[in-house]
Amino acid sequence: MPELIKTPALVLESIRWHESSKIVTLFTRREGMLKAIARGALRSKSAFSGRLETLNVIQCIISQKESRELQILTQAELIDPQTMLKSDLHRLPYALSVVELLKKVFEKGQKDKIFFDFLLQIFQALHKSKQPEIVFWYFLLKLVSFLGFKPDFHRCFSCGQSAFLQGGWFVFKEGALLCSQCGSSVSLSPFLDDKTIYFLRRLQKYNHRKIHEFPWPVPKNTDLTSLILRYLSFHLGHGIVLESLKLLPA
């Protein structure tokens, strides 16, 4: 017998299915990632109308049966349409990139209620922050930590020193820094100056509820988006390209 599950969910994607229905990809608080059919969602008087758009936060009821790939979405109530975030071209690409990453790195059934709640905090912070790119970097750092390969920006993995006045190399395999005294260069490892290292240390430890207020200036010499995505790609074993970032204004 199917089980009826009531849970908050983030809509990641919805696509047309047959004449009048949609297949919806949801990241739910209770069950993690899943796909469900919303029957009749495309009909003009459907109860699903306007509720299954990407980035919407909904309260939904799902008829779930483990033996089937597609579950059945029976109800969806809109909690937060995130209208302001969707209308801001300086913030929307970062929010859509978060959605892209969830679809790329989370597997079906992978669930964590704390991470789901953190995710909603990130969307709020993207809306509030004057520098949404900082919130996005913060999300990337927390994501790689959640996946099991938290980077260490606090000490040299060779000698253990924590001062990087002359910068250091971030070695992807170790997920840690190598100071200038322990190596003159490291093949394929990006060099980070002292200001970037200090910024990453502060960012990594900042309170997620206040991340929209993060006060330290952005370092100018490092593309932090590229750095963290390269690190993520290295540990996942395949390249991560985020098409949504191409929507950022030039």
**Overall number of domains in the chain:** 2
Query: Do 75 and 113 fall into the same domain?
Result: no
CB 60 within 8 Å of CB 9 = yes
Query: Do 214 and 192 fall into the same domain?
Result: yes
Closest CA to 125 of 12, 17, 203, 47: 203
Tens of each residue's pLDDT in the chain, 250 residues: 789 999 999 999 999 998 899 999 999 999 999 999 999 999 989 999 999 999 999 999 999 988 888 999 999 999 999 999 999 999 999 999 999 999 999 988 788 999 999 999 999 999 999 999 999 999 999 999 999 999 999 999 999 999 999 999 999 999 999 998 897 777 779 999 999 999 999 999 999 999 999 999 999 989 999 999 999 999 999 999 999 999 998 7
Query: Do 71 and 98 fall into the same domain?
Result: no
- Give the structural domain span for 197: 85-247
Query: Do 150 and 165 fall into the same domain?
Result: yes
Query: Do 126 and 232 fall into the same domain?
Result: yes
* CATH number, position 59: 2.40.50.140
Query: Do 228 and 127 fall into the same domain?
Result: yes
Given 54, 81, 108, which residue is the final one in a domain?
A: 81
DSSP label at residue 52: S
Query: Do 233 and 162 fall into the same domain?
Result: yes
Query: Do 62 and 91 fall into the same domain?
Result: no
Query: Do 119 and 227 fall into the same domain?
Result: yes
Query: Residue 240 half-sphere exposure, CB side, CA atoms within 13 Å?
Result: 24
Query: Do 138 and 181 fall into the same domain?
Result: yes
Model's pTM, two decimal places?
A: 0.95
